[in-house]
Amino acid sequence: MEPLLSRLPAAFWRVPYVGARFPGSAAVADRPGLAGGANCQVFAYAVLGHVGLAPPALRSAELWDDVRATVRVPVARPLDLLLFNAVDDAYGAHLGVGTDDGRVLHLCAEVGLPAVWSAADFAARERYRCLVGVKRVLPDGGRGSGPGCRGRPAAPPRR
């Protein structure tokens, strides 16, 4: 399978960070998609949607608690969702997508556009220094599946 980063259309790389465009916001309801910009969650879910996964549109803490469409995993793989925060708490956590080379694709407020960072890049920033954990989207988006595994926080993505 072709690596994630090369599968994304050019338009994904031009999506601006717009904090008001979060899951459940009026801005996203009025104008779905990435054309009006996105926050990290909307962007990550769009990336996964582009490759055929169907994560629910949840805020970070809701995603962390979800057991229907996602499961917590101890070690990240490509296409897993990684949650970063200044503290070990999913509330308000930043969300990115694991890549094939062990880095994380995310829509970065600091940069204003999508970026691909290593675990060290996140750790070097106070607001992202803690990896809260990793969630894997179930292939069927949780339809017809039972409760998920509730594991411990994970290590950074591996190659």
Average pLDDT across each block of 10 residues of the chain; the chain has 159 residues. List them in order. Answer: 88 97 94 95 97 94 97 97 97 97 96 96 96 94 46 43
pLDDT, position 86: 97
Given this model, what pLDDT does residue 105 score?
98
pTM: predicted TM-score of the whole model, two decimal places: 0.87
Q: What is the pLDDT of residue 139?
A: 87
- What is the pLDDT at residue 83? 98
Instruction: Give just the sign of the alpha carbon dihedral 135, 136, 138, 139.
Output: positive
Q: Quick one: which of 41, 37, 31 has its CA closest to 12?
A: 37
Q: What is the pLDDT of residue 141?
A: 64
Rg (CA), the chain: 14
In whole angstroms, what is the distance from residue 61 CA to residue 6 CA? 30
pLDDT at residue 1 in the model: 62
Helices (H), 51-156: 60-65, 119-123
**Stretch (H or E) spanning 45:** helix 40-50
Q: Which of 145, 144, 153 is nearest to 72 (CA)?
A: 153
